[in-house]
Amino acid sequence: MKIAFTSLFDIDDPNIISGTLYYMSHYLIKQGLNVIHIDKLHKTYYKFLKIKTIFHSFNKKKYLRLRDPFLVKRITKQIQKQIDIINPDIVFSQGSLEVSLLGCKQPIVIWCDGNFADLIDRHPHYCNLSDKTIKDSLMLEKKAYDRAALLIFPSEWAAQSTIEKYSVNPSKVHVVPYGANIDYDMDEEEIKQKILSRPSDIIKILFSGVDWYYKGGDVLLEAVNILIRNGFKVELNIVGCNPSPDEDILKYTKVHGFLRKSIESERNLLQQLYLDSHYFVLPTRYETYGISFCEANAYGLPALGTNTGGVQSIITNGINGFLIEGINAPQFIAEKIIRLFTNYNEYINLALSSFNEYKTRLNWDAACSKVKNLLQQINVIK
């Protein structure tokens, strides 16, 4: 089966969208599919689009040029030209913009983590948007969903939200979780030894996110302070960002900055941080999915994440971590960590169970195998 995988970005770049495009394509190919990329699309911002941006800035509103129908039409022409040459069986996309105005004869499949409507004023990049951007974005996404033969989401939350907000036929919506964006493959015995080698005299916590406040770094600091006040020794490793300058960063914190998976030394450091830590904690204020939770589980690391968006499709309480609930998140986090750390056999069992969730459910092999079956069904009835 020939698949045209289209994206605005470089699909082969493991640094783009945390590597999701790269791993998605790589594992679809591993399933025996003939995947051809239509990517790195030319996104010239024409002069009048720049003028629009300036105009909206006077109203202190954010205008997203990439979501202007004028530009999307030109991107669509690039895609259509390549489709005519490739003549694939299916057109596949990880986003909706690329296929929103596409008029190809082939069935269209979208495998994305959520919809635009859920991002408005919740995700930092989509706050204070102009009315024009909101109207255009909703219109384009609706067209994409209507055109698609199959819509795949990694969470039940995203699937149900899209059905309700875009009046999508539920029969063409499926849920297949994304996998962890990692390259290693340790077996259960190797992971067990790594878990058992973790120190019992200090609590090691890993935080990874590009936006300190949005990902809840300030909340985690409060939780760590509670642990310290209760007499526990703590080491907090921060990856992906730098804490706000007004945060009280104590000597227990190690800031590693942004670690690129494409650079071996940085990739190895990130892997070691996962293996050496006891908990991965991300009290995020909003998350459509959260691949970092899957990655934590891949290293036998229980994950604590806010019960928001699609996180509940990854974390199951007591199986591979805990969903952070309630208004007093720092206290909740501290209590869960203390309970497990003072009942270390329970911690070990949770860590092993977390790894099992990765091996059976939260990996790209399992995900792309399910998607391949869905694609084959569409290819038969097209």
Question: Helix/strand/coil (H, E, C) string of the chain?
Answer: CEEEEECCCCCCCCCHHHHHHHHHHHHHHHCCCEEEEECCCCCCCCHHHHHHHHHHHHCCCECCHHHCHHHHHHHHHHHHHHHHHHCCCEEEECCCHHHCCCCCCCCEEEECCCCHHHCCCCCHHHCCECHHHHHHHHHHHHHHHHHCCEEEECCHHHHHHHHHHHCCCHHHEEECCCCCCCCCCCCHHHHHHHHHCCCCCCEEEEEECCCCCCCCHHHHHHHHHHHHHCCCCEEEEEECCCCCCCCCCCCCEEEEECCCCCCHHHHHHHHHHHHHCCEEEECCCCCCCCHHHHHHHHCCCCEEEECCCCHHHCCCECCCEEEECCCCHHHHHHHHHHHHHCCHHHHHHHHHHHHHHHHHCCCHHHHHHHHHHHHHHHHHHC
Higher-confidence position of 206 and 122: 206
Reported as a single tens digit per residue, the pLDDT across 363-380 is 999 999 999 999 999 865
**Statement: residue 56 has pLDDT above 90:** no
pLDDT-derived band at 145 (thresholds 50, 70, 90) equals very high
Provide the residue type at 6 as one letter. T
**pLDDT given for residue 123 in this prediction:** 87
Average pLDDT over every residue of 229-242: 94
pTM: 0.92
**pLDDT given for residue 48 in this prediction:** 57
**Statement: residue 59 has pLDDT above 90:** no
**Statement: residue 53 has pLDDT above 70:** no
Average pLDDT over every residue of 179-192: 90
Domains of the chain with bracketed CATH = 2-179+363-381 (3.40.50.2000), 188-360 (3.40.50.2000)
Strands 303-306, 279-282: pairing is: parallel
**Statement: residue 381 has pLDDT above 60:** no
Average pLDDT over every residue of 18-44: 92
Q: The tokens of 203 are what?
A: 């609590």
Return mean pLDDT, the chain. Answer: 92
**Statement: residue 67 has pLDDT above 90:** no
Reported as a single tens digit per residue, the pLDDT across 303-330 is 999 999 999 999 999 999 999 987 899 9
> Which one of 147-161, 233-247, 262-276, 321-335 scores highest in mean pLDDT?
147-161
**pLDDT given for residue 277 in this prediction:** 97
pLDDT-derived band at 26 (thresholds 50, 70, 90) equals very high
Residues 6 or more apart whose Cβ sits within 8 Å of residue 154: 113, 175, 176, 177, 178, 289, 310, 313
pLDDT-derived band at 79 (thresholds 50, 70, 90) equals very high
